[in-house]
Chains A and B, each alone.
Chain A
Amino acid sequence: MMRYKMTRKLRENLIGYSFIGIWIIGFGVFMLYPFLTSMIYSMSNVRILGTGIELNFVWLENFRVIFQREEGFAFVEALVSFLRELVFQVPIIIVFSVMIAVLLNQPIKGRGIFRSIFFLPVVISSGPVINELVSQGAGGASFMESYSYIRIIQDTLNPNLAGPIVAIFSEIIIIFWFSGVQILIFLSGLQKIDRQIYEAARIDGAGAWESFWKITLPSLSSLIFVNIIYTIVLLATFSENAVIVSIKSNMFNINTGYGVASAMAWVYFAVVMGIVALTALAFRPKRWRGER
């Protein structure tokens, strides 16, 4: 009996690994190895010669360069403005997608049409496309200017605060465009909520407003967490993101090269992972909190 159990377990292990084995190989070759190599690069002077790659170990020199040279300043500036934008954009996207999902969850006609409108940007938004739209004023800049909202903001707020807000408003539509997937995720979450809970609440005298805060929002809490992480990753990996552009351009810059570019990538990695960890701590679903 015992032997049978052992072999069965072994068999399950073997079959399981035969299914995911291909991923493990890929992970080793295209993730783990480059990840570790990148760590070495970030502390080396890397040059590609005709004969091969030349590495000179320089310890933390590359990281110092980031805070000393012009190219580094540009990177740090891009990173700071990315963070500032993230702080504004993530809440905007999450609130907007909850709002749209709640509206779409009402018993209305033409729901399918509205749903496909709000998902449309996911299909078309690539880096160059978004870039063109924003630079041609289609991202909302011309829309906002024609109603002189921007002037009002600039006149009433102090410049430090007005700057980021104007930047957000001039591409507000594009920011909304990043919420297609999140809307669908919230919508499917809403559809799982039992209608009877709302009816019970109504009988107890709760209005629509109270039901939203007391029933809808709490039942979406774990999806809000998922969507916040998704949005952060989406914005952090968007190919026209200034930080990413900066890292890429430094790869081929004679003054910096692969070494400094790798160091920048590691700084970016640390920042993004830090943000993800912080949000995970702040917004993790309740049932996780219970476990610890």
Chain B
Amino acid sequence: MAMPMKRVFTKRRRAAIKKALFGSELSRSPLAKVAIYVLLVSISFFYLYPMIYMVSNSLKSQADIINPVVNWIPTQWYFGNYRRAFGVLNYFPSLGSGLLITLLPALIQTAVTSVIGYGFAKYDFKFKKAWFVLVLMTFVIPAQVYMIPRYVMFFEFGLLESPLAIILPVLVGQGVNSAIFILIFYQFFRMIPVSINEAAEIDGAGPYYIFFRIAVPLAVPAFITSFLFSLVWYWNETYIASLFLGAGYPNLQLRLANFVSEYTAIYASEELTLINEGVRLAATLLIILPMLIVYFSIQRWFVEGVERTGVTGE
């Protein structure tokens, strides 16, 4: 009789220890929680390291950069790097021309892909599956395979170095990552019950009236998310921009890509203003600044948008 009693006792004690360490079945133990926080904070630091490094070094003067004692915090806040980077990037004019080929394509992309996504979501037409597979294919295919003839085509029509080379493909649903936006709208519009369409049809509404007056107002979250992602992707897009626009229409990203040569062209004569990592990182920060502002003011829409629009749906 003694043996089973003992076994029960140790079992219970082990459970008690386990509970203290790992928490009971339903509520997590404080220890596990602390571990999760420590893990998340340290990974976040590691993750943000390039950003911290960038901010810290862009505020260092030449002396601070060379000085091995100065690690994270500069001896004095030095804004000379920013002043020079600002000049070399030709910041505001480049920002303006950059916004034209960012905002406009993003707006058009959102509008056009919503129409296409709606068509796929709500109507049953012939070869629908085949077309949809082709839409998805356009995302997977490396752009290089069709960009060279596109380049020649734009050359023939005299569209190189004109923003139209960026905007025309967007107008017909062939912009940067258009397939993803079509997919977002497809998933979103599919969530709207068919009965709403049927009820509107019985009331005599035409398909386009239903789209503009019923579907579009219901899909505001999808529109916002698509617009923001378009904006970010067009802002960060450099392959098409450098190929089609090139030196004739430089936006900020392209100026950053040529930063070293442009910098040396301007400051070649002055030895004191040698290019260093401080200036280059200041320039980099200036490039990402507009998107950082957009992100931190409305980051909820970015992060929740992915879930809300049901991109990940079945």
Interface residues of A (CB under 8 A from B): 12-13, 15-20, 22-27, 29-31, 33-35, 37-38, 41, 46, 48, 52-53, 100, 103-104, 106-108, 112, 114-129, 131-133, 136-140, 142-143, 173-174, 176-177, 181, 184-185, 187-189, 191, 199, 202-203, 208, 223, 226, 229, 233, 236-237, 239, 244, 247-248, 251, 258, 261-262, 264-266, 268-269, 272-273, 276
Question: A125-B236, A128-B238, A237-B143 are known contacts. Are A19 and B119 too (CB-CB below 8 A)?
Answer: yes
In contact, B312 and A269 (Cβ under 8 angstroms): no
Interface of chain B residues 145 through 174 with chain A (CB within 8 A): 145-153, 155-156, 168-169, 171-174
Q: Which of B75-83, B216-224, B264-272, B300-308 contacts A (4 or more CB under 8 A)?
A: B300-308
Task: Check B21 for interface membership: any CB of A closer than 8 A.
Answer: no
Q: How far is the CB of B65 from chain A (nearest CB, A)?
A: 11
Which of chain A's residues has its CB closest to B116's CB? A23
A5 to B3, CA, bound (A): 80
Which of chain A's residues has its CB closest to B310's CB? A188
Question: A19-B118, A126-B253 are known contacts. Are A265 and B53 too (CB-CB below 8 A)?
Answer: no
A115 to B300, CA, bound (A): 10
Q: How far is the CB of A39 from chain B (nearest CB, A)?
A: 9
Which of chain B's residues has its CB closest to A111's CB? B40
In contact, A138 and B54 (Cβ under 8 angstroms): yes
Which residues of A have CB within 8 Å of B147?
Answer: 34, 265
In contact, A16 and B123 (Cβ under 8 angstroms): yes
A22 to B117, CA, bound (A): 11
In contact, A176 and B144 (Cβ under 8 angstroms): no
How many pairs of A and B residues are in contact by the CB < 8 Å rule? 270
Which residues of B have CB within 8 Å of A124?
Answer: 236, 288, 291-292, 295
Which residues of B have CB within 8 Å of A268?
Answer: 142, 144-145
Which residues of B have CB within 8 Å of A53?
Answer: 152, 156
Which residues of B have CB within 8 Å of A184?
Answer: 303, 306-307
In contact, A12 and B302 (Cβ under 8 angstroms): no
Interface residues of B (CB under 8 A from A): 22, 25-26, 28, 33, 36-37, 39-40, 43-44, 46-51, 53-54, 57, 112, 115-116, 118-120, 122-126, 128, 131, 134-135, 138-153, 155-156, 168-169, 171-174, 182, 207, 211, 232, 235-239, 242-243, 253-254, 256-257, 259, 277, 280-281, 283-284, 287-288, 291-292, 294-295, 299-300, 302-303, 306-307, 311-312
Which residue of A19, A27, A52, A191 has the most chain B CB atoms within 10 A of its CB atom?
Answer: A19
Which of chain B's residues has its CB closest to A227's CB? B312
Which residues of B have CB within 8 Å of A48?
Answer: 152, 155
In contact, B281 and A12 (Cβ under 8 angstroms): no
In contact, B140 and A129 (Cβ under 8 angstroms): no
15 contacting pairs across A/B (C-beta < 8 A): A12-B123, A16-B124, A18-B119, A26-B171, A38-B146, A53-B152, A117-B47, A126-B235, A129-B253, A129-B284, A132-B284, A136-B53, A136-B57, A188-B306, A239-B238
In contact, A273 and B174 (Cβ under 8 angstroms): no
Among B47, B53, B134, B144, which residue has its beta carbon within 8 angstroms of that of A269?
B144
Which of chain B's residues has its CB closest to A38's CB? B149
In contact, A30 and B57 (Cβ under 8 angstroms): no
The A interface is mostly helix, strand or loop, or mixed, namely helix
Which of chain B's residues has its CB closest to A11's CB? B207
Among B36, B40, B148, B207, which residue has its beta carbon within 8 angstroms of that of A265?
B148
Which of chain A's residues has its CB closest to B252's CB? A128
In contact, B131 and A20 (Cβ under 8 angstroms): yes
In contact, B140 and A136 (Cβ under 8 angstroms): no
Which residues of B have CB within 8 Å of A244?
Answer: 142, 144, 239
A78 to B174, CA, bound (A): 28
A181 to B123, CA, bound (A): 30
Question: A12-B125, A189-B312 are known contacts. Are A265 and B144 too (CB-CB below 8 A)?
Answer: yes
